[in-house]
Amino acid sequence: MAQPARLTPPDYDSRTVVGAADEALARVEAATLALATIESRVRSNKILLRAIKAWKRGDTIKTAKLALEATEADDSNAQAFHLLALTLNKLGHLREALVTYERAFALDPEDADLVLNLGLTAWNLDLLEGAERMFRLFIEKRPDHPAGYNNLGSIQRDKGNLALAIDILRDAIYRMPDQSMLWNSLATVLAEEGRAEESLIFYQEALRLDPKFARVWHNLGYTYSHLGRLGEALEGYDRALELTASAHEKIETDHSRSICLIGMGRLEEGFKGYEIRHSPEFRAYLLHYTKAPLWQGEPLKGKRILVVGEQGLGDELMFANILPDLQQAVGEDGHLQIAVDPRLVPLFQRSYPEAEIGPYDDGKLEGRVVRVFQWARERGEPDFYAPMGTPLRHLRKRLADFPRAAFLKADPERRAGYRARLEALGPGPYVGICWRSMVMGAKRGKYYSPIDAWGPVLKLPGITFVNLQYGVVADELARAREQHGITIHNFAELNLKDDLDGAAALTDACDLVISAPTAAAALAGALGRETWFLVASRVWPQLGTEQYPWYRESRVFACEKFADWDPLFARICAALETFSRPREIVLSA
């Protein structure tokens, strides 16, 4: 499935990137105004001056056309190529921008601002090695400019070299202690390393140096949010919105603020704000290939509405909470269409037999990611379409609107088969476990407990543990057996990643699921299976409660200190002993 072209860095909430658009524009303008003796350069520069005026007016399309015309008038005009690259980058055509920056660099390798912007575009395309080379070159040319160190340190963070990132930024701070951007970037790296509490000190120093640095207020809000301090997070986001002059940053902060509000339980306000993700300028904007209007809460009786899964698999499963409401709303004369991850089609067909279920696929259109579902348009466009999270604004305005019921159904025959296999292993309870996301790395690892930390739970007597962790797990299962002397039973023939209908059957055969906040946990909750979530700190799907209200029966075990897992597992042990006790009484009767 195609991945989105990156219009901004993927983890925008925790990174401050520094380009040189303003500096570059000033340089382009100055060079253009200089006396040119070659006729073609004179003609090119006249066009380029018009392009610069268009840029200053905010007319990016006009700028791009004029900059292109300037390069055609003189194909050796580095400043024309530089401005064209800037406009292509702003329009989201990153690969074309990169090629154009490279052309400009070949013509003028001494332009430091060009080097910086070339590195930034390479970075946004995940070309980390190339970006690193450009930032190191910029430092050579401008050793007293903080932007090079800022971006180089952040690149190392993205590569997982957190210690090196800290060293680069710390050394730069020794040289330039008055540069707020460096304190901010060092704080973000510390937060990524799991040192969120410590990072607050560095954010505060950045704000002492520059109290009006909107990006720092945003990042401070983001860090408070991940520490579960949502009131303080909201204050940070609000301050960022007051200060930012960037329309793009405003969209990103509005999005983060909406999630914060949802996490605080302010659902009506939060879900309304969450719709900002449909803005074409949002970093994760997803274009849907339909001419149908977005559903805005209109009556649906007798209508056809297409609901499209969005974001990660876990979100897609969780947001399916609203599907029973929509099925009821269209009535007997209406029609509900549901486009989901292809792996989910059998499960959703069984769960919603009156609806039309089909897969979506992702492609590219003019540099944008577009979600396609041709099967849903064979009888013409639906009356409405809605990304699966959009109906929350209209159908889940308060906690009481969540029905606390199962909304997916496992294959009963496969479930019975797995239940029989579990019972053959010995007495229950049968507890399915999942300890991490499949996509891990320096940025994500801090949110998940390693299997090594599960020892106290796994050693509890009288419980049969079942593997629900998808991906490659053989080494971790073997390590758990060696370290703790227990077996986490694994049905190796079942592909838990791709056979989600089989995963649903096995999950539903368990008595309890204990999991990190992953798709495995979302699947268990959607099936109505009791689910315990293990989280590094409070998370927004709790909606201000101690559960996940999306599901029939759930509990949340959150670390009192961010990612402090040992005390958490002691609490889980006590809860699991209580959970298993009634079963022991029944079995002995």
Confidence of residue 10 (pLDDT cuts 50, 70, 90): very low
Residue 9 in this model has a pLDDT that exceeds 50: no
Domain-ending residue, one of 240, 265, 282: 282
539 and 393 in a common domain: no
Assigned domain for 1 exists: no
381 and 427 in a common domain: no
Count of domains in the chain?
4
Q: Which of 470, 469, 467, 488 is nearest to 478 (CA)?
A: 488
What does the buried/exposed string (b/e) look like for 24-37 if buried means 16 or more CB atoms within 10 Å of the residue's CB?
bbebbbebbeeebe
Intra-chain end-to-end CA distance of the chain, in Å: 54
Average the pLDDT over 289-304 and give the result.
Answer: 96
Confidence of residue 1 (pLDDT cuts 50, 70, 90): very low
pLDDT at position 160: 86
Distance between CA 497 and CA 439 in Å, rounded? 12
Helices (H), 15-145: 21-33, 39-57, 60-73, 78-90, 94-107, 112-124, 128-141
- Element of type H or E holding 226: helix 214-226
**For tokens 């207020």, what's the residue?**
217
- Containing structural domain, residue 557: 412-588
Chain-centroid distance of CA 454 in Å reads 27
Q: Which of 105, 65, 67, 104 is nearest to 84 (CA)?
A: 67
What does the buried/exposed string (b/e) look like for 115-154 if buried means 16 or more CB atoms within 10 Å of the residue's CB?
bbbbbbbbbbbebeebbbebbebbbeebeebbbbbbbbbb
155 and 41 in a common domain: yes
Assigned domain for 352 exists: yes
Q: Per-residue pLDDT tens for 103-138? A: 999 999 999 999 999 999 999 888 999 999 999 999
Cα→Cα distances 7→64, 227, 317, Å = 17, 28, 27
Q: Per-residue pLDDT tens for 235-270? A: 999 999 999 998 889 999 999 999 999 999 999 999
Average the pLDDT over 489-501 and give the result.
Answer: 96
Distance between CA 344 and CA 24 in Å, rounded? 48
Assigned domain for 112 exists: yes
Average the pLDDT over 471-490 and give the result.
Answer: 91
Quick one: three-class SS letters along 286-301? CEECCCCCECCCCCCC
299 and 275 in a common domain: no
Residue 473 in this model has a pLDDT that exceeds 80: yes
Q: Per-residue pLDDT tens for 322-365? A: 999 999 999 999 999 999 999 999 999 999 999 999 999 998 77
Task: Establish how many alpha carbons lie within 13 A of residue 52's alpha carbon, considering only the half-sphere containing its beta carbon.
Answer: 23
52 and 172 in a common domain: yes
**More confident of the two residues 191 and 295:** 295
CATH number at residue 36: 1.25.40.10
pLDDT at position 41: 84
Residues in the chain: 589
Q: Which amino acid is at 136?
A: R
Beta strand 531-535 with 384-387 is unpaired
Is residue 154 within 8 A of residue 181, CB to CB? The reply is: no
pLDDT at position 438: 53
Q: For the chain, give the percent of residues with pLDDT over 70.
A: 90
216 and 184 in a common domain: no
Cis peptide before 429 (omega within 30 of 0): yes
CATH number at residue 499: 3.40.50.2000
Assigned domain for 2 exists: no
41 and 148 in a common domain: yes
Q: Per-residue pLDDT tens for 25-54? A: 666 666 655 545 578 888 998 999 999 999
Q: Long-range contacts of range 348-351, CB-CB < 8 Å, 24 or more positions apart?
A: 348/320, 348/408, 350/409, 350/410, 350/411, 351/323, 351/407, 351/408, 351/409
pLDDT at position 477: 92
Q: Per-residue pLDDT tens for 201-238? A: 999 999 999 999 999 999 999 999 989 999 999 999 99
223 and 316 in a common domain: no
